[in-house]
Amino acid sequence: MTMPAAEEMAGPIAGEQTVGAPARRKPLLARIPDIAPLAVLLIGLCIFFAIKSEFFLEYDNFLNILTAAAITGIIAAPATLLLVAGQFDLSVGSGLTFAGIVMAYVAERQGLLAGVLCAVAAGLLLGAINGTLVTVVGVNPLITTLGTLAAFVGLARVIADGQTLPLNDFSGLGTSRPLFDIPLPVIIFAVVVIVFAGVMRYTVFGRSMYAIGANPVAARLAGIRTKRLIFAAFVLSGLCVALAALINVSQLSAASTQAGNGLELSVITAVVLGGASLSGGRGTMLGTLFGLLVIAVLNNGLTLLSVNSFWQDVARGTLLILAVSFDQLRLRFADR
Amino acid sequence: MTDPFRLQARGIRKAFGGVEVLHGVDLDAAGGEVVALLGENGAGKSTLVKIMAGDHQPDAGEVVIGGDRFDALTPVSARQAGVRMIFQELADAPTLTVAENISLGRWPTRGPIVRWRVVRERAAKVLEQLDVDLDLDAPVAGLSVSERQIVEIARALSDRARCLILDEPTAALSSQETERLFRFVRRLRDQGVALVYITHRLDEVREIADRVAVLRDGAVVLEGPAAGMSRRDLVSAMVGRSIGDVARPADVKAPESASPRVRLAGASVDGCFSDVALEVRPGEVVALYGKVGSGIAEVAQSVFGMRPLTAGSLELDGERKQLRGPADAIAAGVGLLPADRQREAAFMVLSVAENLSAPSWSRLSDRGFITARREAATYRRWHDELHIRSRNDPAQPLATLSGGNQQKVLLGRWLERESRVLVLIEPTRGVDVGARAEIYRSIRALAARGVAVLVATSDYEEVVQLADRAVVMARGRIVADLADEQITTERLTEEVGGR
């Protein structure tokens, strides 16, 4: 593969470029690839837990980790897309609860297919409401989705009358292992991540989201239909929430009104840990994948070491703050 | 205390990054006079006054305030000595009231409690002394720009300021507002305040200044009483050549027969402009000249679909258009370089290639898919063509380029999009003289390709140097339509309602 290099050398202005300002050497912190610190952290955690627990390196445990990351991951994919455009969706957890309850409620009365369709419709509805409020009404996305978070979990409890709704004969989606003993949710997770990575990297839609996040005014003046695209991203988020809800209900054979509690925190942590900037315009699907794995490995390892699950919350919160602090430090150095 | 208060700069030298921008400058302002500091962008005006206000330290020379010498003036000591700078960008707290803004940062307190009665009294006293009638309890966000400037000045005066440096205070003002500010400045002068007034508008000098100092390339080239100076003297001092030398474009002009690319007829936007008729032909550069607030920027924005017309019509290439937004305008072949490029055009964290190709993504894509390779190839092509000085690395973030080169990338995006009409708003605002010439060349080169160029500008020299035709606007209406040799600085100033 010498072609690209040769092509660059042959560029007609190859000589001229040195005439301007001499290329500044970037400071060390700015030259580290975005993903490197996270990869180091992940490997470090794996080594630590492998030493501490004999079960950590087993194939089954590996699948456990991925299965645990699947639901968060399926939602973190559109969340990455949204954050890259400078948008948030905090209503994902409550959306998951809501869609799950709708699924179980309708399935019991009208059959499984109707249940699935209604759950998908519920997710799309949530996304459309968020998207409309943000783009048409112009409410801040944080406040919008905080509002729908409260409203939809409330609605779910109203429908279920506060009870857990059982759902039988729907365990295939969540528990079957069609390939190499890999659970179906993990396969779906992988597909979703790959699709979103492709969308963000190789499509006009993905590019436009980066542009919107980098500068919404300039994006509009460059002919990007910003409102339409942001709306679409919120709807995608709703769709993925519905998909995650179906998997969740299937795994538990029941829909709980607590199912999605705190999910938004895990999702945002993974995305931010993965390097997406809170001010928009920066972030990748690969980064989010690493963020998800770090969290999943941490939770899994701490469980294997029988650490109290409350401490896991402390660890996750700390990780989020560390990730953001590191991002700020790096930006500051990059500015110099 | 019979001597008036004086602010003096003596032999100020200052270099940035090894380049000396001030070569031993003297400037003197006494209480009771207005000194106009003139000069083109990049002449060193801002650096000089920042040194006088303590924001920069001079490499040599000293600042003398009211008889006290300072060789290392800090903003705090300048403030204590009574020197205050009023910046172009308002530095007030918009949601707070007039009275609160006047006491901003030095709240009268008893223990931890703010004494609101004193805040009001203080404000009432200073506004009365200045003979200004403003509602003390109105949030400043609801005031006009000139009123907000007056509040800022009042804040400075109530904090014992005796010398005010005003940095192009009229840049964002309409003519009525300018009048109001001038009356206010004269009143300050009569009360014994020393005023340094930075501007590059010559018409303001005769109106407001007692003395004039012209700065060019970091040295004072002309200094004396304003009364004895003609406009011609000032211009030749500023640009270093006589006024007749201002170059008119010598390019081939658009054939009269060519049908117009842009055609506005009876166009109006409520509250901005009304009954505007203008045409731009392929290959032609038409300047839309007027003061800030005259409606020029709004007309330009309408052509780009940012402001739907409320009456009249817009035709592009002979076809009547109802643009519902920039996306429609771009699809119809119009491009825009807005005035505030950082905020309205640039994606600083994205790569130069992405910045250049953003409006063309759909065209460069294959059923919605686009590759970085394709973008990079696009960038390399324009990199050569536009002489963009960069590492020729398509993945380089835009923020790493200099301002002038960023602008070339942003111009290039419309070339790549094959726009047939280019709208530019204040294309050289904040650009220094050298880069300006290069931008003018780029614009002429665009016209030579057959692009119809519409430039909205409040800078008459820009009109003279750039335009084939000049449409002059005042208060939302067209007041003159000038061609070729009719386009002179005198004529433009006269038509715009020169004071």
Number of domain units in chain A: 1
Closest by CA to A34, choosing from A276, A336, A297, is A276
Instruction: Give the mutation candidate from A9, A135, A221, A229 for the B interface (greatest B CB count, under 10 A).
Output: A221
SS3 call for B287: strand
**Cβ(B378)–Cβ(B299) below 8 Å:** no
CA distance B350 to chain A (A): 7
Any idea which residue has 């919120």 for tokens? A234
pLDDT value of position B1: 43
Rg (CA), chain A: 22
Residues of A in contact with B381 (CB under 8 A): none
Q: Decide if pLDDT at A1 tops 50.
A: no
Q: Measure Cα distances from A282 to A82, B348, B406 in Å.
A: 11, 11, 20
Q: Decide if pLDDT at B85 tops 60.
A: yes
Closest by CA to A335, choosing from B139, B400, B445, is B400
Considering only alpha carbons, which residue of chain A is nearest residue B331?
A223
Residues of B in contact with A214 (CB under 8 A): 347-350
Say if the Cβ atoms of A203 and B365 lie within 8 Å.
Answer: yes
* Sheet of B68-70, strands arranged across: B19-30, B6-16, B60-65, B68-70
Q: Is A21 inside a domain boundary?
A: no
**Cβ(A219)–Cβ(A205) below 8 Å:** no
B344, B361, B384 member nearest A221 (Cβ): B344
Q: Measure Cα distances from A283 to A35, A210, A287 in Å.
A: 10, 9, 7
**Cβ(A98)–Cβ(A156) below 8 Å:** yes
What is the interface pTM, i.e. ipTM, of the complex? 0.75
Say if the Cβ atoms of B347 and A225 lie within 8 Å.
Answer: no
- Of the spans A37-41, A168-172, A268-272, which averages the highest pLDDT? A268-272
B344, B371, B390 member nearest A202 (Cβ): B371
Residues of B in contact with A217 (CB under 8 A): 343-344
Residue ranges of domains in chain B, CATH in brackets = 6-245 (3.40.50.300), 262-495 (3.40.50.300)
Q: For B232-244, how does the pLDDT look when each residue is reduced to its tens digit (9 = 90+)?
A: 788 778 776 544 4
**Cβ(B179)–Cβ(B32) below 8 Å:** no
Average pLDDT, integer, range B262-266: 88
Phi, psi of A317 (to 5 degrees): -60, -45
Residues of A with CB under 8 A from a CB of B: 8, 11-14, 16-17, 19-21, 23, 202-205, 207-208, 210-211, 214-215, 217-225, 277, 281-282
pLDDT value of position A118: 93
Average pLDDT, integer, range B186-193: 87
Any idea what DSSP says for residue A301? Answer: H
**Residue A111, token pair as written in the block:** 């059959």
Q: CA B428, CA B490: separation in Å to the nearest integer? A: 21
**Cβ(B472)–Cβ(B305) below 8 Å:** no
Say if the Cβ atoms of A13 and B384 lie within 8 Å.
Answer: yes
**Cβ(A285)–Cβ(A178) below 8 Å:** no
Max intra-chain CA distance, chain B: 81
CA distance B382 to chain A (A): 11
The sign of the CA dihedral A99, A105, A110, A112 is: positive
Complete DSSP assignment for B193-249: -EEEEEES-HHHHHHH-SEEEEEETTEEEEEEEGGG--HHHHHHHHHSS-GGGSPPP
Domain interval for residue A73: 33-327
Q: CA A89, CA B126: separation in Å to the nearest integer? A: 50
pLDDT value of position B226: 84
The sign of the CA dihedral A212, A216, A218, A224 is: positive
Q: Read off the pLDDT band of A23 (50, 70, 90).
A: very low
Angle at B37 between CA B177 and CA B3, to 5 degrees: 100
Closest by CA to B336, choosing from B272, B406, B421, is B421
Q: Is A153 inside a domain boundary?
A: yes
Say if the Cβ atoms of A207 and B349 lie within 8 Å.
Answer: no
Q: Is A336 inside a domain boundary?
A: no
Q: For A290-318, how does the pLDDT look when each residue is reduced to its tens digit (9 = 90+)?
A: 999 998 998 888 888 888 878 888 887 88
Q: Is A267 inside a domain boundary?
A: yes
> What average pLDDT does the structure give for chain B?
82
Closest by CA to A130, choosing from A240, A270, A237, A263, is A237
Residues of A in contact with B362 (CB under 8 A): 204
For residues B51, B56, B61 and B63, what is the CA-based torsion angle, rounded to 10 degrees? Answer: 40
- A 10 A CB-CB count for B88 gives 15
**Residue B298, token pair as written in the block:** 């709004």
Say if the Cβ atoms of A208 and B338 lie within 8 Å.
Answer: no
Q: Is A20 inside a domain boundary?
A: no
Domain with residue A269: its CATH number is 1.10.3470.10
Q: For A4-19, how does the pLDDT look when each residue is reduced to its tens digit (9 = 90+)?
A: 333 333 333 333 333 3
CA distance A16 to chain B (A): 8
CA distance A317 to chain B (A): 28
Instruction: Give the mutation candidate from A3, A203, A204 for the B interface (greatest B CB count, under 10 A).
Output: A204
Q: CA B4, CA B339: separation in Å to the nearest integer? A: 42
- A 10 A CB-CB count for B49 gives 21
Q: Is A145 inside a domain boundary?
A: yes
Residues of B in contact with A8 (CB under 8 A): 392
pTM over 0.90: no
**Residue A193, token pair as written in the block:** 């991540």
pLDDT value of position A331: 66
Q: Decide if pLDDT at B133 tops 90.
A: no
Residues of B in contact with A11 (CB under 8 A): 380, 392
**Cβ(A223)–Cβ(A100) below 8 Å:** no
SS3 call for B25: strand
Closest by CA to B292, choosing from B312, B278, B272, B310, is B272
Say if the Cβ atoms of B361 and A208 lie within 8 Å.
Answer: yes
Complete DSSP assignment for B289-301: E--TTSSHHHHHH
B304, B306, B392 member nearest A11 (Cβ): B392
Q: Is A186 inside a domain boundary?
A: yes
Q: CA B412, CA B355: separation in Å to the nearest integer? A: 9
pLDDT value of position B241: 55
Lowest-confidence segment of A95-109, B402-416, B420-434 by average pLDDT: B420-434
Q: Is A15 inside a domain boundary?
A: no
pLDDT value of position A253: 86
Phi, psi of B132 (to 5 degrees): -115, 135
In total, the C-beta contacts within 8 angstroms joining chain A to chain B are 93
Considering only alpha carbons, which residue of chain A is nearest residue B328?
A223
